[in-house]
Structure 1
Amino acid sequence: MSSLKLSGFGLPVTGEPEVSHPQTDRLISGNPRRDTWSAVETDLAGASRFYSGVWRSEVGHWRIAMGPTEQEVFTVVEGRCRVHGDDGQVQEAGPGQAIHIPPGFTGSFEVLETLSKIYVICE
Structure 2
Amino acid sequence: MTIEQILDFAHASTAPEYYHPAPEKILAGDPEQSVRNHYGSPCGQFNAGIWEGAVGQWTVSYSEHEYCEILEGVSVLRDARGNAKTVRAGDRFVIPAGFEGTWEVLQACRKVYVIFEPAAH
Class of the TM-score when normalised by the shorter of the 2 chains: 0.5 to 0.7
Q: Which amino acid is the alignment partner of residue 67 of structure 2?
A: V
Q: Offset at 1:90?
A: 1.5
Query: What does residue 77 of structure 2 align with?
Result: 83
Count the aligned residue pairs.
Answer: 75
Q: Which residue of 1 aligns with 2:106?
A: 112
SS of residue matched to 1:88: coil
| In 2, Cα distance between equivalents of 1:95 and 1:116 | 8
Q: Could you give the per-residue CA deviations for residues 51-107 of structure 1, whole angstroms, max 9, x where no partner exists?
A: 11001111010000012xx11111110100111100222211111102321111110
Residue 92 of structure 1: aligned partner: 86
Q: TM-score, structure 2 length as denominator? A: 0.58
Aligned sequence identity (%): 34
- State whether residues 66 and 106 of structure 1, in contact with CA within 8 Å, keep that contact through their aligned partners in structure 2: yes
1:58 corresponds to = 54
Structure-to-structure mapping, 1:37-56, within 5 angstroms? 49-56=45-52
Q: Is the 8 A contact 1:91 1:99 kept in 2?
A: no
TM value normalised by structure 1: 0.57
Secondary structure in 2 aligned to 1:87?
Answer: coil
- Is 1:103 the equivalent of 2:108? no
Provide closer, same or farther for how the CA distance between residues 90 and 99 of structure 1 changes in structure 2, counting only shifts above 3 A: farther
RCO higher in 1 or 2 (8 Å CA, sep ≥ 6)?
A: 1
Which segments of 5 or more consecutive residues in structure 2 lack a partner in the other structure? Answer: 1-43
- What is the alpha-carbon distance in structure 2 between the residues aligned to residue 108 and residue 55 of structure 1? 16
Between structure 1 and structure 2, the one with the greater Rg is: 1
